[in-house]
Amino acid sequence: MSIVFGGTITPSATVEDMIFNPANNQLMIIDSANNLRFYNTATQTLLTTYGTQTNPQGLTIINNASAICGSSSLTTINFIELSSGFTSTVSGGLVTNFTQKIQQMAADPNSGVAFQTSSTVNTLVRISTSFAVTQIKIGEDFSNGNWSSVIFKSPGRFLIGSTQGTILEIDLAGNVQDSFRLSFQSPMSTSSGIYNQQTPGDPPTANYLSYDNNLLQVITNQALFTIDWTTKTIIKTVPVNTSTSTSGLPDLICQGSSGETLFSRNYTSSNRVVQEIDYTVSPTNTHGELYTNNTGVISLLTMSQTTGQAVAYQPAIPAIYCFTVTPRATTTRTVTVNPGGINQKARLILIDDTGGVGNSFVFLDTNMQSPATYRVPTGKTIKEIVKVGSGTGATWDMSSYST
């Protein structure tokens, strides 16, 4: 097993969002009592409490000195000095789109820029450490959509998901750099009763996102998708059942660590399970679970990007479960396919051959745009197959290596 349960924090008010501070690995939560609280998850002890603005929603660390939070009722942004709790409130924002929902706010701490979702059509709130708060229309060609989630992708880049199934990569200014739209395709001819094309008014909402080394995990109300972001290819789809309301509590994934994310479903269920899901080395494989003793939904999930510490919030109890996740050991490998010196789009198949004849298995099969970096397991013998082109003109290559 790769999940170890540590203990439970009993919060004193409804938790609205929670994140780990990468500087000291303390858990930070905002709650319905208008507080920002700091916890040690190893000992499940409360360390510090600061006040916030009314109805805080959305929480992120915008630089090494400050956190910010939005509100579900105010159009202001709170800047909170982490060392003192000193708070500055800046107007110009918008109320957040949801309550008790993760990924409503994300920051690039290197550049001091953050984005927040809003309930205004196609509009994000941009926040910078210079106390500039502005509203940005993004993706106006997608009608009547709201940006439902935002995560930090890489320095200078964010990924945002919409209620229209659109996922955009934006830069620090909010300019669109890349885009993709989720869809459902059945592998057969269109016929009565088969859903093969996007129906207006019934799109999949990109409820939550997780990104690592060119692979993107997305949870919608219908399925868990794994997408190669270099070519926008859906490489794995696992159907799930979830709430019909995006403003309710759809199935959850959180921004992952080491290519793994945490997943919890929120449909009518027996006692809830938090699952540790791989989406990079072996997409959608579940490596571990944390079984809870209650049927109440898990409304918030988050994990540290550096330590494997993780928490899940079950309001019905109420409890914040503290646990650690030990992901499978990995390293990264950059795959370059450039016959004639020109980088190509290629099919990449990675086979774990550690067990030798009769025991090999495919762990990743994707469409990539060269060069691309992927996470591979360490301590393994790997066969790497690439295919360029199709049909009789296709060319193949294979290499073997140990990690």
Partner 1 sequence: VPLQTQATLNINNSTTVLTGTSNGNTLAVIDSAGAVRSYSLPQLSLTMGPKTLTGSTACDITMVAVATAAVAYASTARVDYVNINTGDVTQVTTAATVTNNMQGQIAGNTVTGLCMSTRGAGVNVTQVLTTGATSLTPAQLSGTTASCICTKSDTNTWLVGTASSTILEYDQFGHLQKILPIPLTPSTGTAQTTSITSVTYSNGNMACITDRGLLYIYNWSTLTQLLKIPCWDTASVTTGGLLTQSASGVVFAAAAVGTMNPSAVMEIYLEGNNPTVVSNFWMESSIATRNIGFDGTYCWVFQNTSSDTNGRLFTVNSVAKTTTDTRTQVGGIDTNSRIIRLRDDGVGTACVEVDMNVSAGDVNVQCTNDKNYIEISIANTGTTFDIREFLG
Site string for partner 1, 231-260 (x = CB under 8 A): --xxxxxxxxxx-x----------------
Q: Is 224 in the site for partner 1 (CB under 8 A)?
A: yes
Among 42, 65, 349, 388, binds partner 1 (CB under 8 A): 349
Binders of partner 1 in range 54-83 (CB under 8 A)? none
220 — phi, psi (to 5°)?
-110, -175
The encoded tokens of residue 40 equal 């040690």
Tell me the C-alpha to C-alpha distance, in Å, between residue 308 and each of 22, 262, 282, 322, 346.
11, 11, 19, 11, 33
Considering beta carbons, is residue 81 or 202 the nearer one to partner 1?
202
Please tell me whether residue 402 binds partner 1 under the rule CB under 8 A.
Answer: no
Binding-site member from 141, 341, 359, 393 for partner 1 (CB under 8 A):
359
Secondary structure class of 392 (helix, strand, coil): helix
Note whether 345 binds partner 1 by CB under 8 A.
Answer: no
Residue 363 three-state SS: strand
**Cβ 199 to partner 1, closest distance in Å?**
8
From 64, 144, 400, 402, residue interacting with partner 1 (rule: CB under 8 A): 400
Sole binder of partner 1 in the list 284, 307, 344, 403 (CB under 8 A)? 284
Instruction: Compare residues 17 and 278 and give the one whose CB is closer to partner 1.
Output: 278
Taking the complex as a whole, how short is the minimal distance between the CB of residue 99 and partner 1, in angstroms? 21
Spatial neighbors of 93 by CB under 8 A, at least 6 apart, are 70, 75, 76, 77, 116, 118, 125, 127, 133, 135
Give the nearer residue to partner 1 in terms of CB position, either 237 or 307. Answer: 237
- Smallest distance, partner 1 to C-beta of residue 309, A: 15
CA–CA separation, 68 and 53 (whole Å): 11
Stretch that binds partner 1, among 144-152, 158-166, 170-178, 394-402 (CB under 8 A): 394-402
* One residue of 326, 385, 389, 403 binding partner 1 per CB under 8 A: 385
Inter-residue contact 300 to 18 (CB < 8 Å)? yes
Q: Is 369 in the site for partner 1 (CB under 8 A)?
A: no
Q: Is the dihedral of CA 135, 136, 140, 146 positive or negative?
A: negative
CA-to-CA dists, residue 311 to 92, 248, 284, 323, angstroms: 32, 20, 20, 6
Per-residue x/- track, 309-338, partner 1 (CB under 8 A): ----------x-x-x---------------
Q: Please say whether the beta carbons of 344 and 395 come within 8 A.
A: no
Contact flag: residue 262 with partner 1 (CB under 8 A): no
Q: Could you tell me the two tokens for 348?
A: 């990449």
The answer to whether 87 touches 76, Cβ cutoff 8 Å, is: no
Residue 178 contacts partner 1 per CB under 8 A: no
Length of the chain: 403
Of 352, 229, 357, 355, the closest CA to residue 285 belongs to 352
292 binds partner 1 (CB under 8 A): yes
Among 366, 374, 376, 382, binds partner 1 (CB under 8 A): 366
Write out the two tokens for 280: 């990079």
> Applying CB under 8 A, which part among 107-115, 165-173, 207-215, 359-367 lies near partner 1?
359-367
Residues 21-60 that bind partner 1 (CB under 8 A): none
